[in-house]
Structure 1
Amino acid sequence: MRTMIEFPDFEEKLKKGELNNSYIFCGVDEGLMQDNIKSLVNKNVDKTFRELNYVQFDGSTVDMDAVINTCETIPIMSDKKVILVYRAKFLGEGEDREDNKRFDKLIKYIENVPNFCILIVYYVFENDREKPSNKVKKLDKKTTVVRFDKLKGAALEKRVKSLFEKRGVEIGKIELKLFCDGLENNMNIISNEMDKLCSYTLDRGITKEDIIAMLPPKSDNDIFDLVDCISQKKPERALEILNELIFKGEKATYILFMIERQFNILFNLKLGVESGKNKDMLSKELKLNPYICEKMIAQSKRFSAKQLTNALEFCLNTEETLKSSSVSGKTEMELLIINTITA
């Protein structure tokens, strides 16, 4: 009796060349599935003849007889061929008649895939709570089922770092954490944002400012309000906003970098105003919308230069502390707010 495996186990087998003739992939992260399929195809199908020996079928409308016939046809100028049925919704719990027919044909054939062929059928869960269907469990007794759950924490950072390295781009530990924390945990989204960031920075190293500039905007108004509460010495409301951000799913690291960015802009605005620069000059120099620049100039007047310097120092100290996985991000952010208000 076969047992469902997790995708890191599959990746290890792929590295060693220990492959079977058929697989069912299932889980929430389609990007991870596609990455592994790409690696499998690169390893087993010659680039020159890829169009002939790598065939894809849309799982929502697939004719399983066509899939079986393609599997039975010998590869051309290659030892192996790969057949992919993607987004195979017929592996879900639905009772659609046509989907059930597709499933019946697949389960009867899957143990008979020829040695020269690798058949992959993948099914994407609708959400994190979805479990493998009874159909997938039945297939688990006949072939290898690989589960693709979302990467988290250090495992996600390791994967993303390796993808940056493949692109020939350097990224530091802090910048890597900021990038991962600032995005939805989905490899397709992460890969797209990575491409944009690499294009933006070209051949130089990636900075925190680059990441903040390029990531999709999140909770800017909340960060402004949080810093405003600090300026008005309202710790209760500042902590409420912090808790709201965390409840929305924002990571402590991301909130910290946004606060640090806000204080940095306020510091530069304060110095600029004191040196005689006006709103138009500062908005151009700091690349701020004129309306936002005006609001932030008003906010900067509630701080002294020393308070802003202290606030930035507290942010850097908190950043160092958050490098440790043993600390509570929420607690450290609360301490940052209290320390900044009382300093």
Structure 2
Amino acid sequence: MSNVIFLYGNDEFAIARKLKDFESDFADPTTAGMNTARLEARSMSEDELNNAINAMPFLAPKRLVILSNPSAKYNNPGTRKKFETYISNVPDSARLVIHELVESKEAEKHWLIKWSKNSTAIKTQGFMLPKQRDMSGWIVNEVKNQNGKIEPQAAAKLAEMVGVDTRQAGMEIAKLLAYVNWVRPVQGSDVEAVCIVTSQQSVFEFADALSQGNGKVAQRLLHRLLENEDAFALWGMVVRQFRLLIQAREILDGRGNKDDVARALGVHPFVAEKTTGQAARFSIESLESIYRKLLGIDEMVKTSQITLELAMDTLVVELTR
């Protein structure tokens, strides 16, 4: 296997799972932490990358270096060429796993993917969100991965609820299997009883409140969501919603409608209708500005400069004042 692997795509859940697979490769879990380095390209120095890759592993055959968002740092032909040359010489004592969110229509144009076609130094693997029509099948397979069973009608009902949000689907499946205690297949009535679709609905309402500058409502919705959802899971839902809003706004600016949004984004008609309505209340400039703020928050949280809960509260204040 190559010492350099590039994971890309728009399925954050699948990429996160693959990263965990790499982390679990260590034969001795007690040394995994000492042999793993996580770097955010935007904020790291070249020395930090060099030290992480060239440090000798401790009681293990390899070190694992996880590097996120390389395009944020290597953003011109010169720096990209230098980076490609550098990672062509990653020693056998290290495995460098690079990952980045890339939409399917942009994948073939991505600089690392184009380079990989002419280089044996890097292996690539794509993880794209399933289409809405394929989501029921994805749910059936994920239930099997979690050692359970689900009836087709229940899978279809859950697919309607979550759209193509694989992370949310994975969490709902875990709740459902715990509810039936893995002793019988999940049924449609179980989905209705257990799944909190209100989380996704509340994210829509949260984005509505932000678009209207209603800070009090946005804060109330945020705190209600945090009571029921893991903060990082909720953060993923918020980031995904604003990414969808940017794409929907671009479609609207091109004289498209909610049907075009549903087809282009591969989302359920309900999600497309809500997202189109929200996108119409934002300009593309304001959406891009918000998304840059989200990326900035993500970086600060990953580098322990701020807690995610405080960061989201601060975001609401900044966007509604």
In structure 1, which of residues 250, 264, 269 is the aligned counterpart of residue 268 of structure 2? 250
1:216 maps to 2:197: yes
In structure 2, which of residues 89, 99, 104 is the aligned counterpart of residue 112 of structure 1? 89
5 Å-filtered alignment, 1:1-343, equals: 19-90=1-72, 101=79, 103-125=80-102, 127-140=103-116, 141-142=118-119, 143-152=122-131, 156-157=135-136, 159-205=138-184, 206-213=186-193, 214-217=195-198, 249-250=267-268
Which amino acid is the alignment partner of residue 112 of structure 1? N
Structure 1, residues 199-247: CA drift from partner, whole Å, max 9, x if none?
444455322122134151589xxxxxxxxxxxxxxxxxxxxxxxx9998
CA contact (8 A) 2:135 2:163 kept: no
1:62 Cα shift? 2.3
- Distance change (3 Å), C-alpha of 1:246 and 1:146: closer
1:84 Cα shift? 0.5
1:107 Cα shift? 1.1
TM-score normalised by L of structure 2: 0.53
Which amino acid is the alignment partner of residue 146 of structure 1? Q
Q: For the residues of structure 2 that align with 1:139 and 1:65, how far apart are their CA atoms? A: 24
Which amino acid is the alignment partner of residue 53 of structure 1? N
SS of equivalent residue, structure 2 residue 86? helix
SS of equivalent residue, structure 1 residue 131? helix
Q: For the residues of structure 2 that align with 1:167 and 1:152, how far apart are their CA atoms? A: 21
**Identity across matched positions, percent:** 15
Structure 1, residues 120-144: CA drift from partner, whole Å, max 9, x if none?
111102x454334452245313322
Which amino acid is the alignment partner of residue 158 of structure 2? F
Structure 1, residues 249-302: CA drift from partner, whole Å, max 9, x if none?
5379xxxxxxxxxxxxxxxxxxxxxxxxxxxxxxxxxxxxxxxxxxxxxxxxxx
Unpaired segments ≥5 residues, structure 1 = 1-18, 220-243, 253-343
1:161 Cα shift? 3.3
CA contact (8 A) 2:42 2:72 kept: yes
1:109 Cα shift? 1.2
Q: For the residues of structure 1 that align with 2:56 and 2:133, how far apart are their CA atoms? A: 43
1:190 Cα shift? 2.0
Q: For the residues of structure 2 that align with 1:72 and 1:45, how far apart are their CA atoms? A: 21
Q: For the residues of structure 2 that align with 1:100 and 1:185, how far apart are their CA atoms? A: 37
Structure 1, residues 47-89: CA drift from partner, whole Å, max 9, x if none?
2211012221123312233122211112111112211112334
CA contact (8 A) 1:45 1:82 kept: no
- Distance change (3 Å), C-alpha of 1:153 and 1:250: closer
- Distance change (3 Å), C-alpha of 1:155 and 1:45: farther
Unpaired segments ≥5 residues, structure 2 = 202-257, 271-321
SS of equivalent residue, structure 2 residue 172? helix
CA contact (8 A) 2:41 2:73 kept: no
TM-score normalised by L of structure 1: 0.50
1:112 Cα shift? 0.7
Q: For the residues of structure 2 that align with 1:44 and 1:20, how far apart are their CA atoms? A: 17
Q: For the residues of structure 1 that align with 2:81 and 2:98, how far apart are their CA atoms? A: 14
Q: For the residues of structure 1 that align with 2:68 and 2:181, how far apart are their CA atoms? A: 34
Q: For the residues of structure 2 that align with 1:53 and 1:160, how far apart are their CA atoms? A: 34
Which amino acid is the alignment partner of residue 52 of structure 1? M
CA contact (8 A) 2:132 2:268 kept: no
- Distance change (3 Å), C-alpha of 1:28 and 1:246: closer
Structure 1, residues 283-341: CA drift from partner, whole Å, max 9, x if none?
xxxxxxxxxxxxxxxxxxxxxxxxxxxxxxxxxxxxxxxxxxxxxxxxxxxxxxxxxxx
- Distance change (3 Å), C-alpha of 1:246 and 1:185: same
Q: For the residues of structure 2 that align with 1:185 and 1:64, how far apart are their CA atoms? A: 37
Q: CA RMSD in A?
A: 3.4
CA contact (8 A) 2:67 2:98 kept: yes
